[in-house]
A and B are shown apart, each in its own frame.
Chain A
Amino acid sequence: MDFTEDQINRYSRHILLQDIGVEGQEKINSGKVLIVGAGGLGAPVALYLAAAGVGTIGIIDGDVVDLSNLQRQIIHFTPDVNKPKVLSAKEKIEQINPDVKVITYKTFLTAENAFDIIKDYDFIIDGTDNFPVKFLINDACVLAEKPFSHGGILRFDGQTMTYVPGHACYRCLFNSPPPPNAVPTCSQAGVLGAIAGMLGTIQAAEALKFLTGVGDLLTDQLLTFNAKTMDFRKIKVKRTSNCPVCGANPSVTTLIDYDQAVCDLASHKK
């Protein structure tokens, strides 16, 4: 890949980094990242990956922009209300960086379409808001041997880990989805908007580290933070031998569409 003068200028702050340089920037420009969910986490991820010049960004989301999204989903603007999220996101990405090829999927990830969609990507970002899809992304990535970044946020808390084949997967930590009703999502329990940016930018950094091979990924560790105290913590986790999907005798060998959890806030207090 031969960079133009404009590109060298655009990416100069990356190129200046000894660990990245022209070679690393070329890896970013030829990288392909899929973002599942163009919401709170997906928005900052998409913006930073676009600015970084990731060659192909795929975005999958079946929703349209709602007024209540704008408190944290910073890729969507007020005039975008009622517009498909993938379209709104694509428009912003193309304005930030015309080098990026954007592929949109105005649908939700399911057991039926997951393998077909993820197969073209180097790295997948979980920016979803529900457990059925979080488990689906994990299972699809483990079975298809694709690396991905898990992200979860709620109220003032966030957590993230990076899966790379051979390392602990989400199911090593969380065996199976929680019972419906048990865990509220942001729409029921609320979330501090800036938390989405804190976590999403960590996920974006992990994707760029993966593409360039720089540094140590958040593999075999769960990073958690609480914004009230600003305590950050990395919890070491091990791959579990009896993991239902990546263990020695897996029970999960095909993809599963779990029932969408319907949350009841009244039943939950933390």
Chain B
Amino acid sequence: MSVLDVRDLSLEIDTPAGPVPILREVGFTVAPGEAVGLVGESGSGKSMTLRAIARLLPPTARPTGTIAINGTPVGSLGRSALRALRRRELGFVFQDPRAAVNPMHRVGDFLTEVVRDRRGDVRAATARAVDLLARIGVPDPERRLRQYPVELSGGLLQRVVIAAALMGGPSLLLADEPTTALDVTTQSDVLALVDELRREQGTAMVFVTHDLDLALAVCDRVVVLYAGQVVEVASAASLARAPLHPYTRGLFASRPPLDRRVEPMPAIDGVPAALADVPAGCPFQARCPIVQDRCRTSLPPLIPVGDELVRCHRVDELRAGTLIGRLPLVAPAPTPAGA
């Protein structure tokens, strides 16, 4: 059984001007211990998908579809059942550690919050917190527990947030751009440690990022979102080898090379579309270099290609490589970790 099963997740947000669609029929699964990346531009719905999974949506949001965590449908859970599920199964790593920790409480109180709340064994929880912090590369963890968040650097604080997410031994870790607030060197350190801990505990992960290389390095599989819809699902290895969807190819082609200067920076033509602005048909039609008439009238389904899924009418031609001259050139991706 999969740890996470998202099926037909659609989402609208009520505004004074009427409901605004954010997600349309998003679906994917995460197997135990698997890491799945959600990538896409800003506004593609990655974070909203993640928040829907944890039921952290704003009150004006109206989600439909089903989300099951270890077989339990999340949407229909009552208050206390939801709390128990979050406590036992979920860990959530937020983008900005400064915002995700109450500045008025000591780091130790933050890590053992839920145990205190449940009147559990605080001593054991503190020992576990010290152990986790040490494992995640926080020096002198006992002292850190007595400190306030302002006394810790961003990198250290994000490790604290990650430790908090792992405190309950979750089966599913939800990470919302966990390293965006960190500098690049800290970023790789933190990710490597998370990956190690995650593999050790057999924790599955959904990793939201707009950094395609990062997703390929960290994740087993990648779900590419565009305008609130899934456009491609593929293993990190095959995505690195041959991305199929024109949007994914565009994303790959837009990565700035590290070894030489390129002016202007490569980018996909046009502007990212929000689901609300997408006309009938394929969401990517306005920016697609190989658009056809049918793309403007009918939405392509997610078409299985081997063990991948691609939402494109011209998937056969893409596979055959006959369109290669009309698509952006893709530089080889760095080899994914573990591949």
Q: Do A and B come from one complex?
A: no
A interface residues, Cβ below 8 angstroms from B: none
B interface residues, Cβ below 8 angstroms from A: none
